[in-house]
Structure 1
């Protein structure tokens, strides 16, 4: 059962409460298997992650509702509930790497970033789906969060995962992945590449199609995306250098066939939708010919591709796009 499911069940139980029990009965955890379940319950009930439009409210339940009965474990009498004193509005935009998300959470809450990394180590406690394989990258869903100053790093990350789980359910990610012959993690990996390589959501389904066309190309064709190379080297930028392209990283899609081993950022709903429902087309290349206007063009052949590169170079020489190259060499020379 996911954290969001536990929360939903808890709130449902509360609807039938007449009086709350003493705080000492709220949540008790004990070692071993009970402790693991207790931690999951703690994340579920200590964080109210409720959708309000595109905003998720993350705060201690004690500031919102009566304490529910019947969710106790044997052991300590300590109540794991935030006080809900004060709130911070935190917006996590699409396409941030997990390291960037952690820094943002640290800066917004004043907690050391190391606390967030420690909290990320136990994927089951955070409610990660099994296909995440315990890794949080790609599953810290971008959204606006109203964060309680009393929420712990684990609670905040659990709320982000709960928000991802809801988005996955809304997009029918698991069944949709099966329909296109991919695993859910592969779909999320494609979505992360699409998110990183796109200048606007309009082009996302086409960029997803380029990724799939390259993966399915006969003879086999490498993805050759600079974004994956840079991620593997923990670098930021638009274009990988020739030295970068010689990296032995598992994310070097110039040297290795197929997808990288996991997501390279935390994609939003539009990128996930594009990965599940790519546009129809035979494109193998794309070039952001006019970065200032966000114009990306697509090509089926190498000769067409080089014409698009020439167009990009003309714009660059006119002073357009000085800060952004053509993109990944799935879409750039």
Structure 2
């Protein structure tokens, strides 16, 4: 009987011998069982059990033409380049429809996915006074989301950012202080955001809105910005045909505030709606759009003078 050392030497000798290619019919005939196989296996087990080791030369890493992958076997997962985060900025005054298109462009997802997510106000964390509508609650800010974030996760993050801003501004408490609901204040803020050409005019614009709402007898707001929103149009000037709209946002035809925000106001507009400037104004006119000059009046006669000034500036500008 051969001892372990003899079996090992014979095994190494067999490994070093270059076997000739098999004859063509080899794989068609049953092979005679080899008596050496069990012995070699037993010898190998014994060698390993005794602590012996066979050291072979290092095997070269598999060659691959895939960038970023080295030494991977055929069944191993291919390494992926980390995806970049989603970075975007929601500008103050953007409508929800514009924000959803922006998010679609930034993520490559269909806008319909964001529209469906926007309809589930409860899942987005909207406050109860939002009444399930997302418009006005997508806070304008710079955002960065992890790659692969879902539409619901992205929109929920913008609502969470609104919650922080509303808390900082004291929106709920401030609305109670001025005798308005939080949604009414946010609606006023969205109008202020849409109408203002300069941040410093915002508190005066808010005062005009409140003065018209509180006037005796009541005065309609008569704002082009609300009319255009209700029609889904952009631009700042409504046509005669637009003013015939039966939309609930037509403040030329309907008294009071529109049913909700007409965009997503920023912190300055919310602050203006909570703390309007003191004054008797009932009108405002951007008398010089090129220079971003807005003026205010407290009477029809004063309003007419501002309109005339606007037309003079337009002719000479």
Q: In which range does the TM-score fall when normalised by the shorter chain?
A: 0.7 to 0.9
Aligned mate of 1:205, from 192, 203, 206:
203
Gaps of 5+ in 2: 1-81
Equivalenced residues, count: 237
Please report how far the alpha carbon of residue 220 of structure 1 lies from its aligned counterpart in structure 2 after TM superposition: 1.1
Gaps of 5+ in 1: 1-83, 320-333
Aligned mate of 1:254, from 244, 248, 252:
252
Distance in 1 (alpha carbons) for counterparts of 2:123 and 2:275: 31
Query: Is residue 140 from structure 1 mapped to residue 169 from structure 2 by the alignment?
Result: no
| 1:114 corresponding residue in structure 2 | 112
Please report how far the alpha carbon of residue 147 of structure 1 lies from its aligned counterpart in structure 2 after TM superposition: 2.1
Distance in 2 (alpha carbons) for counterparts of 1:251 and 1:289: 25
| 1:49 corresponding residue in structure 2 | none
Aligned mate of 1:313, from 301, 311, 314:
311
| 1:271 corresponding residue in structure 2 | 269
- Of the structure 1 ranges 91-100 and 142-151, higher mean CA displacement relative to structure 2 is found in 142-151
Deviation sequence 1:135-159 (CA, Å, 0-9, x none) = 0000011000012221111000000
Partner of 1:158, secondary structure, is: helix
Deviation sequence 1:41-68 (CA, Å, 0-9, x none) = xxxxxxxxxxxxxxxxxxxxxxxxxxxx
**TM-score of the superposition, structure 2-length normalised?**
0.73
Partner of 1:150, secondary structure, is: coil
Please report how far the alpha carbon of residue 238 of structure 1 lies from its aligned counterpart in structure 2 after TM superposition: 1.2
| 2:227 corresponding residue in structure 1 | 229
Deviation sequence 1:196-253 (CA, Å, 0-9, x none) = 0000110000000000000000111000000001111111111111111111110010
| 1:153 corresponding residue in structure 2 | 151
Distance in 2 (alpha carbons) for counterparts of 1:126 and 1:155: 8
Please report how far the alpha carbon of residue 181 of structure 1 lies from its aligned counterpart in structure 2 after TM superposition: 0.4
Q: Deviating runs (4+, > 2 A) in structure 1?
A: none
Query: Is residue 289 from structure 1 mapped to residue 274 from structure 2 by the alignment?
Result: no
| 2:191 corresponding residue in structure 1 | 193
Partner of 2:295, secondary structure, is: strand
| 1:26 corresponding residue in structure 2 | none
| 2:129 corresponding residue in structure 1 | 131
Query: Is residue 214 from structure 1 mapped to residue 212 from structure 2 by the alignment?
Result: yes
Partner of 2:87, secondary structure, is: strand
Pairwise CA RMSD: 1.2
**TM-score of the superposition, structure 1-length normalised?**
0.70
| 2:174 corresponding residue in structure 1 | 176
Please report how far the alpha carbon of residue 293 of structure 1 lies from its aligned counterpart in structure 2 after TM superposition: 1.4
Please report how far the alpha carbon of residue 85 of structure 1 lies from its aligned counterpart in structure 2 after TM superposition: 3.9
Deviation sequence 1:81-106 (CA, Å, 0-9, x none) = xxx84213201100000000000000
Partner of 1:287, secondary structure, is: strand
Partner of 1:249, secondary structure, is: coil
| 1:65 corresponding residue in structure 2 | none
Distance in 1 (alpha carbons) for counterparts of 2:295 and 2:257: 23
Partner of 2:148, secondary structure, is: coil
Distance in 2 (alpha carbons) for counterparts of 1:197 and 1:166: 25
Query: Is residue 105 from structure 1 mapped to residue 141 from structure 2 by the alignment?
Result: no
| 1:88 corresponding residue in structure 2 | 86
